[in-house]
Amino acid sequence: MIFEQNGRFALDVNNITKHYPGVVALNHISMKIQWGSIHGIAGENGSGKSTLLRIISGMEKQDQGEIVYDGQPLKESHRLLQREVAMVTQEPSLVNSLSVAENIAMGKRRDFKLFVNWKKYKQVASEYLERLGVPGIDLDCPVETLSPDKQQLILISRALASNPRILLLDEATSSLSEDQTMKLFTLLDELKAKGLAILFISHRLKEYIRLCDAVTVLRDSNYICHLKKQELNEDSIVSSMVGRELKDYYPPKVKIPSVEQVIVFRDFHCKQVRNVSFTINKGEIFVFAGLDGCGRSELLKGLFGVLPSKGGLEVNGQSITFKNPRQAIDKGFSYIPGERKAEGIIAEMSIMENAMISHRSQKAFWKWIGRKAEKDLFLRMKENMKIKAPSIHTLIKTLSGGNQQKVVLARALALNPKFLLLEEPTRGIDVGAKAEIYKLLRELTEQGVTVIVSTSELPEAIGIADRIGVMFRGNLQKILQQEEMTEEQVMYYATGN
């Protein structure tokens, strides 16, 4: 279906203001969105991007201002807007116990009558999943059995199945591989050509440059600027987002890293990881890189005792195999999982409770937990790590992704680890928060902490690593030294060469 472009703006956002207790989420934001365009909204975590999309979608109500939809004030067209807008939220919104087809059919629930034509909805589900690069998926299986990337593609398919005129995408690519992202972008280009208006949020700057016709930048809940297509580059977006140039985005690396071997793998096996043999030195940042499914995440989980493992493993000269995470923690390990929302945070607990839960578990049940000392420790960590929250009692689920990740990192550091394991440490967070985390990791290595990272972001791997271990189908293909690190070299070995 090709939508008619009638000369009016798809959306005219005028002076939108939104307050939460103790926080100004949006401060007099105005912008215009054209039909047949892809409009980016960029900004650091907590700048108000997601709040703005939720207000446009009708999920939340603004305190001041007006939204005009296709020439009609929102009050007059609210029901129409709800019928013609679809949003892929940053927060998971699938019903895990329902099947793939049932979740996708929810996007067309306004069409439901007395009976549901499941054959029709399965055809719609198959069509969009195939276009997004997920052919042959079992439409009757519960979504909880699927990987995060497939769940994300189901969310996108559900939004598209509602046949919207306006599509809102909030971090829709955060769990997707490069290939899946490119398939999505091809589909979005087709939808734009049909006249849809698409609003797009990402923390990957190159995605704005590839996809968007224009980008509106927010900072600290305020409107900063509007960048046209010809003005889009990484420098212009970053400087507008953070108010400064990030020349020192990655901190300087140690010129002569330690040669003291603190972790030794000998024919190490874990799930799909096979016959891995190498060493990791004290105080270095060792990064595992490779395509999705290569085994880098499984290797970290096997080392930490989350997955069973076999073979030789030495830690500080002692032969050991961790049968569970408790044993690894006792030997000085801390671990941050890659799926922050599913595995990293406890949504209904406060930021202090999330950060201190591991610290409390270190104390035997007969020992007194000093609440004041614990509070003082967290306040110091909150200040040092620049965690933005109104109070230590703020629920972690209300924070931006970057601040949630800092709380999870604070939890790991509260154990004073000798070894810090991180999966996708900066997934879904902005450039400013990334730079702060990179700086913190380098500072930890200077204190003698050994940092081991698994990441799918090649620029990140090259920017922070002292050495990179490239994996392919469960094998360690190559260890790259600093002078060998380029994206071309990483991809050469990541594809089996």
pLDDT tens column, 165-186: 999 999 888 878 788 889 899 9
Q: What is the pLDDT along the chain (497 residues), one digit of tens a residue?
A: 444 455 688 999 999 999 887 778 899 999 999 999 999 999 877 788 989 998 988 888 889 999 888 888 876 545 555 668 889 887 767 888 888 888 887 766 555 455 667 777 788 778 888 888 777 788 888 888 888 888 888 888 888 888 889 999 998 888 787 888 898 999 999 999 999 999 999 888 889 999 999 999 998 889 999 999 999 888 888 888 877 665 667 888 876 667 888 989 899 888 888 888 889 999 999 999 988 778 888 899 989 988 888 888 888 888 888 888 888 888 999 998 887 777 778 778 888 888 888 777 665 555 556 678 788 888 888 888 888 888 888 888 888 777 888 888 888 888 888 999 999 888 777 777 788 889 889 999 999 999 999 998 888 899 999 999 998 888 889 899 988 998 888 888 888 77
- Please say whether the structural domain 248-332+417-497 has been given the CATH code 2.30.180.10: no
Per CATH, which fold does 11-242 belong to?
Rossmann fold (3.40.50)
Q: Where are the domains of the chain?
A: 11-242, 248-332+417-497, 350-415
β 419-423/333-336 pair status: parallel
The dihedrals phi and psi of 122, each to the nearest 5 degrees, come to: -70, -35
pTM over 0.75: no
| One-letter amino acid for residue 17 of the chain | T
**Residue 344, H or E segment:** none
Q: How far apart are CA 379 and CA 275, in angstroms?
A: 44
Q: Which residues of 355-369 are buried (b: 16+ CB within 10 A; e: fewer)?
A: bbebbeeeeeeeeee
For residues 410 and 378, the answer to whether their CB atoms sit within 8 Å is yes
Q: How far apart are CA 405 and CA 419, in angstroms?
A: 18
DSSP state of 35: T
Q: How far apart are CA 193 and CA 225, in angstroms?
A: 26
Common-topology check for domains 11-242 and 248-332+417-497 = yes
pLDDT score of 237: 86
The CA-CA-CA angle for residues 230, 231, 234, to 5°, reads 120
